[in-house]
Amino acid sequence: MAEASTEKGPSEKEAPLLGGHVRPYESEFERKTICTKKRTLIIAIILIMLVLYAVGLAIGLAIGLHARKSSASESERNSELTQIPIGAVVTDHEACSDVGRDILARGGTAVDAAIAALVCVGVRTPHSMGIGGGCFMVIYDKYNKKAVAIDGREVAPMAATADVFSNHSGYAWGGKMIGVPGELMAYKKAHQMYGRLPWKSLFEPAIKMAEEGHPLGNSTAMALAVVAKNLKNLEKYPYFCEMFCKDGRVLKEGETVKMLKLARLLKGVAEQGPDFMYKNDDVVLDLVAEINQAGGIFHYLDFKKYEPKDYPAEEFVIGDYNLYTLGAPSGGPILELILNVLEGYNITADEISTPEREAELFHKVIEAMKFASADRLYLGDPDFVTIDKLLQKLKSEDYAAYIRSRIHLNTTHDISYYTNHTGQASHSFGTSHVSVLSPYGDAVSVTSTINYYFGSLVVSNSTGIIWNNEMKDFTFKESKTSPMDGRKIGGPFTLCSIVKDGKENRWTPLPLWGMVQDGKG
């Protein structure tokens, strides 16, 4: 991870705040952040492991620390003030980080920058996310010192019932696997609350890329290779191939991709907002017909009735840090449990003083994750299942202490030690993350997905939208027995994930924002 420096020297492109595709935004707005470096390092190690567990991909954290050279004593160095320039955009693609940076430079808010960057990522890394999927978003409002959560996740269509999927073969792709997308609606909700620049202007960079074409990136090329290897017969997905195939093969890294149909749709959305896609009768009827022709079960009201949710973000305190995320059905309550378990160990710098102590720290983290993963199976959409007692338990210090009492530092255990149920393995690959920190101290953290690489592989012929396959993650049948060991698959938590119209499924990846308790990032 590259370090940010307050010293003059390298050019902007040579001095990223973080490794990866990050662009600093230097201005008169600089403030001091108090960091005890060793404690921060330990917390960072734990959070990185938890983030990898939750998201399974490199997630952007807009924190850059420059450790100033000093001849002071060890204790003085540990408590010194570290001054960093604030203003960063972190995405999966360099061009999209640049887009977000430019929005900040024009006086846009963190939300403005996040929306522009997200629309760009949907064009440049379409295997991971896009307007055919959904997202979770956390917005920190520095002026009012509050955090807001926006839930724009996919929901099951109106016609979705367990009976409809009773003969489901387990196939992950096709129209039947498409959930009602919420990505654009979440953007609009965020912009109505915290946007400053005109909505239309946030779409212009991505529209230009889609229209003029851009070189296929490495990660998208790798995802295409995986899809081609697994499916063999891409002719079954003609509109997918229209965009990503050439001469009977998938495109390779560096070859030009044009998304003219998607560009046209984005122009309509830029002019009219999400209503162009969700309320316009001509557009909606075409989308529904295409999805259903691919095997889907959509009704035009699925689009017209969709509304994102917004509510105060979940806040919890770990040590000197306030952390903000979403509640159920996201993995927020599970993350809180894991961190509560670990906080009880009173972790200090000594935990990484030797390889043996460091290994012990990692063992604690991994074991806490295992216990929390068992509880995750009981999470569900609180609008459909009653999980109040579960959420109270996950926040309980007594429950965290109970888990610590079952963690043995010299051994690990079979899965039956952590749970008597077996959850279905997650194979979600198509997920991305964007983090933005504005020069004013406002922040946005967004996790967006279409579930698998390229989602359902169903591409809209009229609009170029790549649809998600989020329905794959629901449970379609009642509890059954594992052929491996006879334990139940499903059991009491089947109701939490059983498919039902309008329902969100539980989802482990989540956005997270944290700061020290005096309100400094």
Residue 449 marked as a ligand binder: yes
Side chain identity, residue 125: T
In whole angstroms, give the CA distance from residue 366 to residue 6: 36
In whole angstroms, give the CA distance from residue 125 to residue 91: 10
Q: Do 185 and 308 touch, CB atoms closer than 8 A? A: yes
Residue 48 marked as a ligand binder: no
Helix or strand run (H / E) with residue 479: none
- The two tokens of residue 132 are 């055919």
In whole angstroms, give the CA distance from residue 50 to residue 18: 19
In whole angstroms, give the CA distance from residue 265 to residue 259: 10
In whole angstroms, give the CA distance from residue 299 to residue 25: 45
In the block, tokens 């961190």 appear at: 339
Q: Do 423 and 479 touch, CB atoms closer than 8 A? A: no
Angle, CA of 91, 267 and 260, to the nearest 5°: 80
Angle between helices 388-395 and 332-343 (to 10 degrees): 30
Residues 6+ apart with CB under 8 A from 436: 62, 88, 89, 90, 100, 104, 110, 111, 113, 114, 117, 443, 444, 445
3-state secondary structure of 126: coil
Residue 109 marked as a ligand binder: no
Give how far the C-alpha of residue 252 lies from the chain's centroid of Cα atoms, to the nearest Å. 26
In whole angstroms, give the CA distance from residue 63 to residue 321: 14
- What is the residue-wise DSSP string for 329-389? TBSHHHHHHHHHHHHTT---GGGGSSHHHHHHHHHHHHHHHHHHHHHHTT---TTTS--HH
Q: How many CB atoms lie within 10 A of CB 517?
A: 10
Residue 31 marked as a ligand binder: no
Residues 6+ apart with CB under 8 A from 270: 199, 200, 202, 203, 204, 207
In whole angstroms, give the CA distance from residue 440 to residue 463: 37
Per the residue annotation, which of 33, 91, 422, 431 is the catalytic one?
431
Active site residue 447: no
Residue 153 marked as a ligand binder: yes
Report the catalytic residues. 431
Q: Binding site membership: which residues?
A: 153, 449-451, 473
Q: Binding site membership for L-glutamate: which residues?
A: 153, 449-451, 473
